[in-house]
Structure 1
Amino acid sequence: MARQLWLLRHAEAEPHGTRADAERRLTARGESQARTAGVALRRLGAHFDAVLFSPKARGRATAELAVAEWNGAERELLRAHPPLAGGFDAQGALEAVSEVGPDGRLLIVGHEPDLSGVVGALTGARAEIKKGGLAVVRLQGAGGELAALLRPRELALIAGGPADGD
């Protein structure tokens, strides 16, 4: 089994300018998107060796709400990762995933355009990860392949709810 990098973009947050960028919180819709992503990941049978999240309020909340939908043991995997606050790149992703071992799975919760940039650099694919959306990259060496790109509406269908949103 190859290493896997799962990239979840933070869910819908308050508009720019409402408060300092690092303090912007999820909207009610964003909280729902985060929970839905967690349910979808559980229904997909996804298990992770670590979950790293941006220390920005919306990244932390997305990770915490998603992981709350899993079993209690996996909640211990949550860890703030300051590089995810901005400027996160493919090299940073490879360094982070190297810590979970040769067959490890890492979930990172972060921001655009960083996450799409990581996907592009590792796979050559042009991907736009929607707020509350998910990309999965299977890694081999310093590159990989895009295994999945799911919008919030597709995650909602997997979770068993209505296909609301982007």
Structure 2
Amino acid sequence: MKLWILRHGEAEPYGARPDPERTLTSHGREEVLRSAAGLIGQPLLAIYASPYRRAQQTAQLVREALGFEPELVTVDWLTPDIRPQAVLEHLGDQGDVLLVSHNPLVGSLLGLLQHGHLQQPEQVKTAGLAELEGELPLAGAMTLKGLRHP
């Protein structure tokens, strides 16, 4: 199975609005579209996104760029401060999905999936796209095939 994890694009600065309501900047939208190009031709079954506005905007831009017909799936388990282990509990054996979320969750989740612990998080810039591969989305059971930043 493959799993893609995308951090949202650049958003308005903190303090402009409450964190869940921060929106993408024009630069952030451009970043997302560049990252979406890395998903062209991939066998995505679903796109899961945090309910935060910037993640929703990111997921919708990807969906439109790919011509992905299924609706986005909005989930509370992709918000910034969720424990990475909770994400794995929700994924089960679903394969070939895209997760759209935030740091610190994105970096910690990538570290957990690769190394089996949280001591080596990945550094992921805005609109960074990670591709992982493995039998199941379990701690330490996936291999990072690539991490691209726009």
Q: TM-score, normalised by structure 1?
A: 0.79
Which residue is equivalent to 1:162?
none
Q: Which of the numbers 112, 127, 133 marks the counterpart of 2:128?
A: 133
For 1:99 and 1:81, how far apart are their aligned partners in 2? 17
Q: Is the 8 A contact 1:38 1:68 kept in 2?
A: no
Equivalences, count: 143
Aligned partner of 1:13 among 11, 31, 34: 11
| Contact 2:134–2:143 (8 Å) recurs in 1 | yes
Match of 1:22 among 20, 41, 45: 20
Identity %: 31
Alpha-carbon separation, structure 2, partners of 1:121 and 1:33: 26
Render the CA deviation track for 1:119-165: whole Å, top value 9, x for unaligned.
1111126421110111112133422111111111xxxxxxxxxxxxx
Q: Does 1:123 align with 2:114?
A: yes
**What is the rounded CA distance, in whole Å, between the counterparts of 1:76 and 1:64 in structure 2?**
11
The whole-number CA distance in structure 2 between the counterparts of 1:90 and 1:147 is 19
Alignment gaps of 5+ in structure 1: 153-166
SS in 2 for 1:147: strand
Counterparts in 2 of 1:78 and 1:99: CA distance versus 1, 3 Å? farther
- Trace 1:123-162 onto structure 2 (pairs within 5 A): 123-124=114-115, 126-141=121-136, 142=138, 143-152=141-150
Superposed CA RMSD: 1.7
Structure 2 alignment gaps of length 5 or more: none
The separation in 2 between residues aligned to 1:23 and 1:128, in whole angstroms, is: 24
Report the CA distance shift for 1:126/1:91 in structure 2 as closer, same or farther (over 3 A). Answer: closer
Cα distance between partner residues in 2 of 1:21 and 1:135: 24
Does residue 46 of structure 2 align to residue 50 of structure 1? yes
The alpha-carbon deviation at position 77 of structure 1 amounts to 4.2
Distance (whole Å) between structure 1 residues aligned to residue 134 and residue 93 of structure 2: 14
Secondary structure at the aligned position of 1:69 is classed as: helix
Aligned partner letter, 1:93? V
How far apart are 1:99 and its partner, in Å? 5.2
TM-score (norm 2): 0.86
In structure 2, the residue matched to 1:83 is 77
- Paired residue type of 2:22: R
Q: In structure 2, do the counterparts of structure 1 residues 77 and 147 end up closer, same or farther at CA, with 3 Å as the change threshold?
A: farther
* 2:55 counterpart residue number: 59
Higher percent of residues as helix: 1
Instruction: Select the residue among 77, 88, 106 that pairs with 1:94.
Output: 88
Whichever residue aligns with residue 127 of structure 2, its letter is G
